Structure 1
Amino acid sequence: MEENITPDQTLDCRGLSCPMPILKTKKLIGTMKPGQILEILGTDPGTRNDLPAFSKRSGHEYLGEKPDEGFSRFYIKVK
């Protein structure tokens, strides 16, 4: 994963559990333009598997994740 990703939007899903991070991601991605990058902040361990699967199913590009203090940052490029 690239180190210097600059997201166009950030979605804070910290403290939310499945399926809320995916539902909120799906809703926000629907408002974004192709080529934009969404950063999702999450604490739910299931998000680590759910976001790559969601990206693949919906045709977006999963760019990876970066651990942070107490949560992870996930990146999806809108297609």
Structure 2
Amino acid sequence: MAQDKPHRTVDTSGTCCPEPLKQAHRAIKTMQPGEVLELISTDFGSRMDIPAWCKRTGHELLRTEEEGKTFHYYVRKRD
């Protein structure tokens, strides 16, 4: 979907908890409501952490993609 094209990408590959979550939080704070963040992570724990963070903060997790041991999260900043 064209509207799901990320406005910003943050690659946290090679880091582990809590770094992917911290970087996602830091990045989304600088974005405008409705913009989409792509977060790339190799941390297996992010499979639980990112959806839980979205639910807690009200940001919308649009989709998650797995490529081998790499996870891509697409998160729309809440209004």
Give me the TM-score of the superposition, normalised by structure 1: 0.90
- Runs (4+) of structure 1 exceeding 2 A deviation are none
Unaligned runs of 5+ in 2: none
2:31 aligned partner, one-letter code: M
Q: Spell out the pairing of 1:4-43 with structure 2 (5 A cutoff).
A: 5-43=4-42
Counterpart-to-counterpart distance in 2, 1:51 and 1:64 = 11
1:60 aligned partner, one-letter code: H
Partner of 1:52: 51
How many matched pairs?
Answer: 78
Partner of 2:60: 61
Counterpart-to-counterpart distance in 1, 2:69 and 2:46 = 14
Q: Secondary structure at the match of 2:5?
A: coil
1:61 aligned partner, one-letter code: E
Deviations 1:28-49 (A, max 9, x none): 1000001100000110000011
- Report deviation, 1:77: 0.4
Percent identity at matched positions? 36
- Report deviation, 1:5: 3.4
- Report deviation, 1:69: 4.2
CA RMSD of aligned residues (A): 1.8
Q: Secondary structure at the match of 2:73?
A: strand
- Report deviation, 1:70: 3.6
